[in-house]
Amino acid sequence: MTWMNIKPGQVLSRPAQEGIPALHHVFDVDEINAIDAALAAERPLLIRGEPGIGKSQIARAAAYNLGRAYVQFVVDARTESSDLLWHFDAVSRLAKAQIWGALSGGGKPAKDDVLADLDVRNFVHPRQLWWAFNWPKAAKRAKDMGIVPPRQAEGCDPANGCVVLIDEIDKAETDVPNGLLEALGMGSFTPQGFQDPVMVAGKPPLVIITTNEERALPDAFLRRCLVLHKRLPSAEEGLKEHLVARAVAHFGGAADNLDVFGRAADMLIRDREQARNAHWLPLPGQAEYLDLVRAVLALEPKDGTRRRKALDRIERFALKKHPDSVG
């Protein structure tokens, strides 16, 4: 049995919608198999690899292919594990308390009314894993609090389950992955002020986690994940073929595009090798290549000769990110 309904090498495309960018992704066999394995094992899928290789896009593409709702959280240095579960709006509670204090000047309000209105549970918002675990309950709480549910692309239905992306988990301290172990392992957590836990209802979510390897992840966390290692092809010919195929998926395979795609790939390979030899990190990769191609096609949408000149003119801005890479 497989869940992913797509063949390796097939282009998955979705046009831009209001508030949702266009999506173009080419699944390889490892990506398809890893997602199927994570769904079957009901474990998170950790995707490891250098920045700009397309790790985050795998989650968006998987949600679209599976017809599931999609939510994401981008981790930073200030992230705490509870930020992915719920948010306690202390500012709103303080404001409400000040209102009650002002009202007391015209007559003492009933204590029970004050306590009920200031109950901690009234100020707890659902976050990404709450939506992923139990979308109906998160939606009810969001409606009661006047919160808009996460916007979904056409065809992505919470009734089919959810894909949640936890992006760049290595940006956070180790207590963040450690703090998620119980929620991800047990499929439940108890928000602040609540007695009853939020539990997985319906189809278990597909949790996809990415790391750029900036910080080591705890062993206990790694043991509870399936792991997909993403790497660009190492051989020059294979890397060029890979990059051009990705450009065709994003921008179309018209004959007058292919020369630009190939020339840009040659530039990326040259600059990537220079950066590797000089130990400049991060290495320019797929994301920089696609940015370069996108810029050239926008600057010169028709004329091939002018496109080649544009490539020479702007290549260094897209590919040479290290301060020592330019003279």
101-135 burial: b if 16+ Cβ within 10 Å, else e: eeeeeeeeeeeeebeeeeeeeebbbbbbbbbbbbb
51 plus 198 within the same structural domain: yes
Residue 287 is predicted with a pLDDT of 94
Q: CB neighbours of 1 closer than 8 A, spacing ≥ 6? A: 40
Q: Does any domain span residue 210?
A: yes
pLDDT digits (tens, 9 = 90+) for 250-291: 998 788 889 999 999 999 999 999 999 999 988 899 999 999
Asked if 4 and 36 count as a contact pair (C-beta separation under 8 A), the reply is: yes
Residue 219 is predicted with a pLDDT of 94
φ/ψ bin of 222: left (φ > 0), alpha (ψ from -120 to 50), beta (otherwise): alpha
Domain span holding position 140: 11-85+127-229
Q: Does any domain span residue 199?
A: yes
55 plus 161 within the same structural domain: yes
111 plus 142 within the same structural domain: no
81 plus 99 within the same structural domain: no
State whether residue 20 is helix, strand or coil: strand
Q: Does any domain span residue 6?
A: no
Quote the Cα angle for 52-56-61, to 5°.
125
Task: Name the average pLDDT for the chain.
Answer: 89
Asked if 75 and 167 count as a contact pair (C-beta separation under 8 A), the reply is: yes
Which of 177, 223, 224, 226 shows the shortest CA–CA distance to 48?
A: 226
190 plus 145 within the same structural domain: yes
51-70 burial: b if 16+ Cβ within 10 Å, else e: bbbbbbbbbbbbbbbbebbb
- What is the pTM for the complete model shown? 0.90
How many residues in total does the chain contain? 327
C-alpha 269/C-alpha 267 separation (Å) is: 6
Residue where a domain terminates, one of 229, 252, 286: 229
Output the six-digit token pair for 277. Answer: 């030899």
Residue where a domain terminates, one of 229, 252, 285: 229
Q: Does any domain span residue 65?
A: yes
Residue 321 is predicted with a pLDDT of 86
Residue 315 is predicted with a pLDDT of 93
What stretches in the chain show pLDDT beneath 70? 90-93, 95-120, 327
Q: Does any domain span residue 164?
A: yes
The 3-state secondary structure of 22-65 reads CEEEECCHHHHHHHHHHHHHCCCEEEECCCCCCHHHHHHHHHHH
99 plus 240 within the same structural domain: no
- Which CATH number is 46's domain given? 3.40.50.300
Residue where a domain terminates, one of 229, 252, 276: 229
Q: Does any domain span residue 261?
A: yes
pLDDT digits (tens, 9 = 90+) for 176-215: 999 999 999 999 999 988 889 999 999 999 999 999 998 8
Residue 112 is predicted with a pLDDT of 58
Residue 256 is predicted with a pLDDT of 80
71 plus 32 within the same structural domain: yes
46 plus 134 within the same structural domain: yes
70 plus 144 within the same structural domain: yes
Residue 10 is predicted with a pLDDT of 92
- The number of folded domains in the chain is 3
Output the six-digit token pair for 18. Answer: 């209001």
Q: Does any domain span residue 216?
A: yes
112 plus 66 within the same structural domain: no
132 plus 199 within the same structural domain: yes
160 plus 219 within the same structural domain: yes
Q: Does any domain span residue 2?
A: no
